[in-house]
């Protein structure tokens, strides 16, 4: 690389590194703050610790306190049957999901995703226990909550393989509540209809609470990682707008415009989403982590309002409930933009999500349909992208070769001019123009490759396809590979680098170093800027701390990409670039009339203006 190439590329990398380190610094401060406040939080929000490896225990069953006197017994007998009883567990399952419901409240308290396991190879429960609730506030009995009612469940198997469970509660006086869940035979999307009989209202308030359980290797990566956050709240409006927010202390969201179509609680690779196709008339949510509970990633509490459809004596509120993986194709199939919960680029890098959506993801799924080994998919994808960008790569290496063959003339020019850097730059531009050399010819092609590298940075850690995929020593491509780990907290090192050593990250750093040395030996250096020759070695070391915590799929991709770059550069320079022919052509160009490009003209004008600023203006004699 010459000076212009290095400076341009360095500025781009500085922006990316600054963004990454700022993000990581904010996360570190955040978790230190939450750790200090964990005791106070636990006292203010006491909740039971739930074991994700166990099913709902008997402690979740509610029972009525024994009747102590005849007056209390008479009061209970006078109440509807739904006001007292004992909770029972009801299971509804299909090929993908196994859901456990409690008859007290008539809502799911546990969700087991059958096709997935936790990192420890246990059944994957997305949520489980009394920390989860779904209830309606009835316009009856001073706002009676369905969570306090005892329902009678009736399960029915439909001819098409779907299953339904109808939780019915008789409130007396002709008033009745039915909560009907329908689970398709082979889908993650469950429908829910709340039918009110003898109860009139325009809207139905809902309360939804979910405690997302720890399922991956590192709970800190599940809560918040270097890409801006693994556990987030997403929402989408009927008009196509949508947004998200990541955990930063306790977050709140309020929407009262009636446009909100769905609200999603996204963990790293799994989500639970409530969908109202008519639009929630109200949507308030509060989102927090539980640093005192190593088994719960985050807690989401939402207050919603469903519009009721009037049917005479009955009013019905309808919604859909997604409980499943953040699989891009699966989420996209519902056609309500739920695939946005797979983060593909945001913030200052939001533009790369379009590269992912319209280019890289189709390539990925095409190759994944041919081969089943995802490490091989990464390799084929890298080769395919390199072939597409080979024209720009060739142009970059050709520009470097032109710079290299002109080095003797530049050395003569430098010896002639001396230490006047401004004058040397102007004469250098004239020499380049006369020879037909574009000094930015090696830098611009690299800019076409940088968006691809940034796109992969978001795509690979977000794709569930890499989850629990083995490759060589790595047991899970969706998280960091570790060949050495420790538990002792080392100041600065543990917060920046982590308490482990990733071999793929070391190989990525080593290959980047080798590529930098190779480029330095093939590119003429500016003796007046000795620091430039060290800059390509600084960035790999800096990035080593960032990528040590990243998914092995990503660090393997960068490693293989570096090795491919070395091989590609060797082949191009060995078999496609003839420096003698290039030198002869440049000498012929000097004899032709120079036609400078607009950019070269602009650059020369800027240099002249800079040189004129240093001159002393002539004295004007006034008469």
Strand partners, 319: 192
Torsion, Cα 360 363 366 370, to 10 degrees, reads: -110
294 in the same domain as 261? yes
Q: Does residue 25 fall inside a structural domain?
A: no
**Among the listed residues 473, 468, 460, 484, the one whose alpha carbon sits nearest the alpha carbon of residue 555:** 460
**Element housing 99 (H / E):** strand 97-102
Here the CATH number for the domain that contains residue 45 is 2.70.98.90
10 within some domain: no
- Whether the Cβ atoms of residue 247 and residue 223 lie closer than 8 Å to each other: yes
Asked whether residue 61 carries a pLDDT value surpassing 50, the answer given is no
End of a domain among 319, 343, 367? 343
Q: Are residues 468 and 541 in the same domain?
A: yes
pLDDT-derived band at 35 (thresholds 50, 70, 90) equals: very low
d(CA 293, CA 8): 46
Q: Is 42 among the domain residues?
A: yes
Count Cα atoms within 13 angstroms, Cβ side, for 225. 27
- Do residues 452 and 543 share a domain? yes
- The pTM assigned to this predicted structure is 0.78
Do 234 and 141 reside in the same domain of the chain? yes
Tell me whether residue 6 is in a domain: no
Q: Reply yes or no on whether the pLDDT at 411 is more than 90.
A: no
Domains identified in the chain, total number: 2
Neighbours of 363 (CB within 10 A): 15
Its domain, for residue 601, covers 354-608
CA–CA gap between residue 286 and residue 267 (Å, rounded): 15
Question: Strand, coil or helix: what is 493?
Answer: helix
Q: Which has the higher per-residue pLDDT, 537 or 316?
A: 316
Per-residue tokens: 594: 């120079």
What is the percent of the chain with per-residue pLDDT over 70, rounded to a whole number?
76
Sign of the alpha-carbon dihedral angle for 141, 143, 149, 154: positive
pLDDT digits (tens, 9 = 90+) for 583-606: 787 777 777 665 555 655 666 666
Q: Note whether 576 and 474 are same-domain residues.
A: yes
Strand partners, 283: 255, 304
Whether residue 399 is found in the same domain as residue 320: no
Average pLDDT, the chain: 80
| Measured distance CA(586)–CA(578) in Å, rounded | 12
| 436 within some domain | yes
- pLDDT surpassing 50 at residue 41: no
Q: Both 292 and 395 in a single domain?
A: no
Q: How many helices and strands, by DSSP H and E, does the chain display?
A: 18, 22
Question: Quick check: is 17 in a domain?
Answer: no
Asked if residue 415 and residue 291 are part of one domain, the reply reads no
79 versus 359: which is more confidently predicted? 359
* Residue 397 shares a structural domain with residue 326: no
Asked if pLDDT for residue 230 goes beyond 80, the answer is: no
Cα(207)–Cα(280) distance, integer angstroms: 13
**Over residues 54-68, mean pLDDT:** 39
Domain assignment present for 31:
no
Same domain, 76 and 108: yes
What's the alpha-carbon Rg for the chain, to the nearest Å?
32
- Give me the helices (H) in 213-301, please: 219-223
473 and 436, same domain (yes or no): yes
């Amino acid at each position: 690389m010459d000076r212009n190439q290095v400076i341009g590329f360095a500025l781009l990398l500085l922006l990316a590194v600054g963004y990454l380190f700022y993000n990581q610094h904010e996360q570190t401060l955040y978790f230190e703050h939450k750790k200090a406040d964990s005791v106070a939080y636990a006292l203010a929000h006491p909740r039971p610790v739930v074991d994700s490896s166990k099913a709902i225990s008997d402690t979740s069953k509610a029972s009525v306190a024994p009747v102590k006197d005849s007056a209390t017994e008479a009061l209970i007998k006078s109440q509807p049957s739904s006001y007292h009883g004992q909770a029972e567990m009801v299971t509804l399952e299909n090929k993908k999901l196994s859901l456990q419901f409690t008859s007290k409240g008539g809502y799911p308290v546990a969700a087991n995703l059958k096709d997935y396991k936790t990192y420890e190879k246990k059944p994957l429960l997305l949520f489980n226990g009394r920390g989860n609730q779904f209830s309606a506030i009835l316009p009856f009995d001073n706002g009676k909550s369905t969570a306090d009612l005892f329902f009678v469940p009736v399960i029915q198997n439909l001819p098409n393989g779907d299953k339904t469970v109808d939780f019915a509660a008789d409130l007396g006086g002709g008033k009745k509540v039915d909560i009907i869940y329908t689970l398709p035979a082979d889908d993650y999307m469950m429908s829910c209809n709340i039918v009110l009989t003898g109860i009139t209202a325009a809207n139905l308030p809902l309360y939804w609470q979910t405690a997302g359980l720890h399922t991956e290797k590192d709970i800190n990566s599940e809560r918040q990682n270097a890409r801006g956050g693994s556990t987030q709240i997403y929402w989408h409006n009927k008009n196509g707008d949508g947004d998200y927010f990541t955990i930063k202390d306790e977050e709140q969201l309020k929407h009262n415009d009636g446009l909100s179509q769905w609200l999603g609680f996204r963990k790293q690779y799994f989500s639970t989403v409530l969908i109202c196709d008519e639009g929630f008339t109200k949507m308030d949510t509060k989102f927090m982590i539980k640093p005192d509970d190593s088994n719960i990633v985050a807690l989401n509490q939402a207050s919603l309002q469903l519009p009721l459809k009037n049917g005479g004596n009955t009013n019905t509120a309808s919604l859909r409930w997604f409980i499943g993986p953040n699989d891009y194709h699966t989420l996209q199939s519902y056609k309500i933009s739920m695939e946005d919960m797979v983060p593909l680029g945001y913030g200052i890098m939001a533009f790369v999500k379009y590269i992912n959506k319209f280019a890289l993801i189709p390539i990925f799924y095409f190759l994944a349909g041919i081969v089943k080994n995802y490490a091989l998919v990464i390799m084929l994808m890298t080769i395919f992208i390199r072939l597409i960008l080979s024209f720009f790569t060739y142009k970059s290496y050709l520009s470097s070769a032109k710079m290299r063959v002109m080095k003797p003339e530049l050395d003569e020019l430098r010896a002639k001019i001396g230490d006047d850097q401004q004058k040397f730059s102007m004469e250098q531009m004239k020499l380049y123009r006369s020879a037909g050399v574009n000094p930015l010819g090696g830098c611009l092609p690299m800019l076409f490759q940088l968006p691809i590298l940034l796109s992969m940075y978001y795509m690979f850690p977000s794709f569930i396809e890499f989850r629990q995929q083995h490759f060589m020593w790595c047991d899970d491509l969706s998280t960091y590979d570790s060949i050495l780990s420790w538990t002792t907290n080392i100041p600065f090192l543990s917060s920046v680098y982590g308490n482990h050593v990733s071999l793929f990250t070391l190989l990525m750093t080593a290959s980047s170093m080798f590529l930098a040395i190779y480029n330095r030996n093939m590119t003429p250096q500016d003796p007046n800027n000795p620091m430039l020759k060290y800059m390509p070695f600084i960035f790999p070391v800096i990035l080593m701390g960032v990528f040590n915590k990243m998914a092995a799929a990503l660090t393997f991709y960068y490693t293989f990409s570096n090795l491919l770059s070395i091989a590609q550069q060797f082949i191009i320079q060995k078999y496609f670039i003839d420096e003698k022919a290039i030198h002869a052509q440049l000498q012929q160009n000097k004899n032709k009339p120079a036609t400078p490009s607009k950019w070269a003209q602009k650059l020369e004008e800027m240099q002249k203006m800079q040189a004129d600023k240093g001159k002393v203006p002539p004295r004007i004699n006034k008469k």
